Chain A
Amino acid sequence: MPILVFVETAEGKIKKTSLEGVAYAHAMGGPVTAIALGDVETAELEGLGKYGASKVLHAADPKLNKGIIQVYASVLSKAMQDEQADILIISNSSLGTPVAARVAVKVGASLAANIVSLPETTSGFVVKRSIYSGKAFAHVELKNQKKVLVLRKNAADIKEVGAPVKVTPYSVSLSDADFAVTITSAELATGEVLLPEANIVVSGGRGMKGPEHWHLLEDLAKTLHAATGCSKPVSDMGWRPHHEHVGQTGIKVAPQLYIAVGISGAIQHLAGVNSSKYIVVINKDAEAPFFKAADYGIVGDAFEILPKLTEAIKKAQ
């Protein structure tokens, strides 16, 4: 039986976290059917074959161009039926997670979110999920025949395992009742690396003294092709937009590298970054608690170190 993977797109391109979803399903043993909704480049969809999809469905109805949660949930639960898929895999996002929850109810599936690794299937179907804001994990058994898995970033490694496949059009019949929510407009940062997707995050705290100094972090971020983040007080004071706030009550990031500059390392901030592979801390106070959670540290003034670090990285590239 195929494993269905919901592939999310942004500006016509497939999100990296969705490629992780395809890789995850492939690592589970597949066969993998990927499904994309709304406007997306065909070449992008064909390319899913390289990461392990043996079938790619595309529901191109323009009514699906806006990600309306109820609409997507109906389409995906129908697709599970049509494809006779018992398992649906969705990557965590502001669209993916609510859609997953609603699909689970519609099809009577066991649901688990924030999954961090491949399932253990020796006795039952057990997944490991992140709980307590990244401070711990729970192993949960999903007992129903049908299962909806919501993956956290880095739950699987993206690997090239196959060749591009042909895209199969998937036609849908949409119900008016699912369009109860009208999306009137959106404000989106363009051309930036998105925080939840980023492999490297450069983050600043109150130690940066004010928004007028953020160009130092932005220069470093640009050099590393990284996203920028911040601590809660920084977004509370309006130095940076709210969607950059990292921590227990903000975004939880899981990049390969998290560079924290002028952030003290309060437990609520650490809760949002403790899934990072490597952490670099730059702080003028050698006693800052963040150093205890770091892999590499520099004690010193951010305003002196940042330009030097950006230069040194440019040189090494």
Chain B
Amino acid sequence: MKILVCISHVPDTTSRINFIDNNTKFDTAGVQYIIGPYDDYALARAIELKESTGSTVHVLNVGLADTEPTLRKALAIGADEAIRINAEPTDSFFVASQIASQAKANGYDLILMGRESIDYNSGVVHSIVGELLSLPSVSPVMKLDIEGNKAKVAREIEGGKEYLEVNLPFVAGCQEPIAEWKIPNMRGIMSARTKPLKVVEPTTIDGGVKLTKFELPPPKGAVKMVSADKVEELVTLLKNEAKVL
């Protein structure tokens, strides 16, 4: 099987978010980058499938050269080959179109992504790729088993789970507990250095979406404390001040 895993390169989940240049640019100062947490689940499941079925795993990122350490990390975790599409990932349709054209060229049996990126977090790239390739897309996937040409999938829905069957190839947006995150070991890190990392130029596409500015939420006012032996006071505040009861 040939598996493609699409990974986003995103600020660590503990990052404080700031903007510069009059709120038009993300402030990268002091920010650590990671493989998107959901994408990391997708990658972990791909590596498990590689081991159990003898598949090859490609990882792909749409990003500028600074995302290469993130791709190398995916190679260290066990992917065989990395592809970087050399472009700023400006909007979901643009990113999805780049992924779709690579996927078309390489012919994968399975395309795994995260349920959503944690920067743009639209949760749409997998569905757009599916539509562009006329393939089914399923998200968020909590369980994925391959039996021959067929996949058995559990998808999280509001208040529960849905079980589905779908033939390969298809696109899945993954989340826990599909697999446990994998941490690269020393051998993986060494071998990642010599694994191929291909840089591809993007195709020009306009998704029809343009960023005008960023905004931070207003700071929270001071917390009002209520004494533990006067819970009725809290009820009064919720009723008369917040008006939520």
Q: Do A and B associate with each other?
A: yes
**B195 within 8 A of partner (CB):** no
Q: Which residue of chain B lies nearest to A185 when distances are taken between CB atoms in the complex?
A: B163
Within 8 A of B (CB), among A162-196: 177, 180-189, 192, 194-196
Which stretch, B59-67, B77-85, B103-111, B117-125, touches the partner chain A? B117-125
Given contacts A94-B155, A105-B131, contact A136 B214 (CB under 8 A): yes
Question: B234 and A293: CB pair below 8 A?
Answer: no
Question: A113 and B142: CB pair below 8 A?
Answer: no
Question: A249 and B214: CB pair below 8 A?
Answer: no
Knowing that A188-B157, A295-B242, A316-B236 are A-B contacts, what are 18 other residue pairs whose CB atoms are under 8 Å apart, sorted by A's residue number?
A111-B207, A126-B212, A131-B214, A136-B216, A141-B210, A141-B212, A182-B165, A187-B161, A187-B163, A242-B156, A243-B160, A268-B13, A278-B238, A297-B224, A298-B225, A298-B227, A305-B231, A315-B232
**B11 within 8 A of partner (CB):** yes
Given contacts A109-B208, A141-B209, contact A186 B161 (CB under 8 A): yes
Query: What are 29 pairs between A and B in contact, CB < 8 Å?
Result: A69-B136, A94-B140, A101-B131, A102-B131, A105-B93, A106-B131, A111-B207, A113-B124, A133-B121, A137-B214, A139-B212, A139-B215, A141-B210, A142-B208, A143-B209, A180-B136, A181-B164, A182-B165, A185-B162, A186-B160, A186-B162, A196-B158, A242-B176, A243-B156, A243-B161, A249-B37, A249-B38, A277-B242, A316-B245
Question: B221 and A295: CB pair below 8 A?
Answer: yes
**B220 within 8 A of partner (CB):** yes
Within 8 A of B (CB), among A132-149: 132-144
CB proximity of B173 to chain A, nearest CB, Å:
8
Interface on B for A, CB 8 Å cutoff?
A: 11, 13-14, 16-17, 19, 37-38, 91-93, 118-124, 126-128, 130-132, 134, 136-140, 142, 155-167, 170, 175-177, 206-217, 220-221, 223-228, 231-232, 234-239, 242, 244-245
Residues of chain B lying within 8 A (CB to CB) of residue A300: 228
Question: B159 and A194: CB pair below 8 A?
Answer: yes
Whole-angstrom distance between the alpha carbons of A150 and B207 in the complex?
16
Question: B127 and A136: CB pair below 8 A?
Answer: no
Q: Per a CB cutoff under 8 Å, which of A102, A256, A313, A315 touches B130?
A: A102
Q: Which residue of chain B lies nearest to A98 when distances are taken between CB atoms in the complex?
A: B127
Count contacts between A and B, CB distance < 8 Å.
258
Question: B37 and A312: CB pair below 8 A?
Answer: no
CB proximity of B122 to chain A, nearest CB, Å:
4
Interface on A for B, CB 8 Å cutoff?
A: 10, 69-70, 73, 93-95, 97-102, 104-106, 109-114, 126, 128, 130-144, 150, 177, 180-189, 192, 194-197, 199-200, 224, 242-243, 248-249, 256-257, 267-268, 271, 274, 277-278, 280-281, 291-301, 304-305, 308-309, 312-313, 315-317
Residues of chain A lying within 8 A (CB to CB) of residue B170: 180-181
Given contacts A97-B124, A304-B228, contact A110 B208 (CB under 8 A): yes
CB proximity of A167 to chain B, nearest CB, Å:
25
Whole-angstrom distance between the alpha carbons of A192 and B159 in the complex?
8
CB proximity of B15 to chain A, nearest CB, Å:
8
Whole-angstrom distance between the alpha carbons of A269 and B186 in the complex?
32
Q: Which residue of chain A lies nearest to B11 when distances are taken between CB atoms in the complex?
A: A132
CB proximity of B118 to chain A, nearest CB, Å:
5
CB proximity of B114 to chain A, nearest CB, Å:
10
Residues of chain A lying within 8 A (CB to CB) of residue B37: 248-249
